[in-house]
Amino acid sequence: MGYDAKEKPTHIAVVFDPKGGTFRHEKFEPYKANREAQPEDITFGIPWVEHIVRAMNLPVVVVPNYEADDVIGTLAKQAEKQGYEVYMVTPDKDFGQLVDERIFLYKPGRQGNDVEIMGPKEVCERWGIKRVDQVIDVLALMGDAVDNIPGLPGIGEKTAVKLLGEFDNVENLLANADKLKGKQQEIVQNHGEKATLSKWLATIDINVPIQFDDKAFEIEPFNREELIDIFRELEFRTLADAILRSPWGGAPASALVPGKASMSPAKAGGTQGGTQGGTQGNLFGDDPDAQPIVGGSLPAQRKADKSIDNVEPRYYLVDTPEKRAELIKILLGSTRHLLRFRNDGARSDTGRSCRLFLCRKSPRSLVCPCPRRPQGSPEGSGGVQKGI
């Protein structure tokens, strides 16, 4: 929570990608096709993130057919026109193309590193370019394997920057391909359409059909009770401390203190330069600005109502065909359950007894003994594997 503690934003919005494809997929179907399937734990966690965000009373924005990048870019440019200074909180390098004198890229710190706030000067130095809009041209020439943006074959970042230093942009490079020599000339002449497509794919759309609403995006105090309930269920102790201690956490001693920062209106005579340093609190770690709790018991929001210490587990043996059939019927109608496999031997193929533990609703657990493999039977023909 280092961002709200230091920058003291007055307005905020959280933007998610829509389900399904976007307008980029309509023109180039393989867009982002190289990405691996989303890890299961992230898929499970996203609804909880949304739940926490809504309990914090943060406006959530999703626009069908447009990526979150496009929505953020559109809102940032609109807010800037209304006199706000904007911080785009993201580690994505592509956002450098949107940075200007009143829009900053705020890259959260990782692994103990400080946050990095980048204005036009920092973006240009990072890429070795003259203007921030050339970020798009660099991406167009070098491509992006993560997003499956093709770029030009054999052209890396250093070569792309060198070409832009001479030709300024993709369009001028393609128009003057005859001035290149050898392999580079061949690449540009034969694959120019890939560079044109790549530039279109890499350009963040700032004309999404959405309107910045300064009233809707004003920061409101969090729903403290709802957050406490969520953190109790998830047992997020440090995160609970960090969020509930923030100026908007709703604690009696806390007060909403407006100030200059993310989407904050310019004041006459005030300074509007971006801070170039600072620290970032770990979302799931300790908040460096939080006061430690010394002595006594943990506050209510740090305790789970139920734990292994105060809940008596109940086990039910599923050891007949009828009980197994009933278990299968229950599992087919369940969206979530905990599964644990336990073998009495060091290996699963020894034929020793093993058990399958299933928990659908705490504290009730179902124990399913798995049949042993008959002595002398071929490996894998029965026993543990077949029993499961």
Residue 122 maps to a domain: yes
Backbone angles phi and psi of 102, in degrees to 5: -125, 5
Same domain, 281 and 345: no
What's the rounded mean pLDDT across residues 346-355?
52
144 — pLDDT class (breaks 50, 70, 90): very high
**What is the band of 304 on the pLDDT scale with cuts at 50, 70, 90?**
low
Give the residue with greater pLDDT, 36 vs 345: 36
Can you give the residue range of the structural domain that contains 27?
A: 1-132+210-299
How many C-beta neighbours within 10 Å does residue 93 have? 17
Of 1-10, 42-51, 314-323, which has the strongest mean pLDDT?
42-51
Residues 214 and 264 in one domain: yes
What is the per-residue pLDDT for 4? 54
Report yes or no on 189 lying in a domain.
no
Domain membership of residue 33 (yes or no) is: yes
- Residue 353: which pLDDT band, with cuts at 50, 70 and 90? low
Range 31-58 average pLDDT: 87
Both 117 and 262 in a single domain?
yes
Are residues 219 and 351 part of one domain? no
The whole-number average pLDDT for the span 319-327 is: 83
**How much of the chain is helix, strand and coil, in % rounded to 5?**
35, 15, 50
CATH number for 262: 3.40.50.1010
pLDDT at 171 > cutoff 50: yes
Query: Same domain for 288 and 233?
Result: yes
Hey, which residues does 314 pair with through a beta bridge?
A: 364
Residue 376: the pLDDT is 52
Query: What pLDDT shows up at residue 126?
Result: 95
* pLDDT at 325 exceeding the cut of 60: yes
pLDDT classification of 299: cutoffs 50, 70, 90: very low
Share of the chain above pLDDT 90, in %: 48
Asked if 266 and 335 sit in the same domain, the reply is no
Same structural domain for residues 288 and 378? no
Q: 195 in a domain, yes or no?
A: no
- Of residues 53 and 309, the one with the higher pLDDT is 53
Residues 282, 336 within the same domain:
no
Segment 89-96 shows an average pLDDT of 94
Buried b (16+ CB within 10 A) or exposed e, 57-89: bbbebebeebbbbbbbbbbbbbbbeeebbbbbb
Asked whether the bond before 369 is cis by omega within 30 degrees of 0, the reply is no
Tens of pLDDT, residue by residue over 145-162, are 989 999 999 999 999 999
Domain count, the chain: 2
Q: Choose the most confident range, by mean pLDDT, from 100-109, 201-210, 238-247, 368-377.
A: 201-210
116 in the same domain as 63: yes
Residue in the block written with tokens 């179907």: 29
Residue burial 256-286, b: 16+ Cβ < 10 Å; e: rest: eeeebbbbbbeeeeeeeebeeebebbbeeee
Residues 328 and 274 in one domain: no
Q: Does the pLDDT value for residue 280 go beyond 90?
A: no
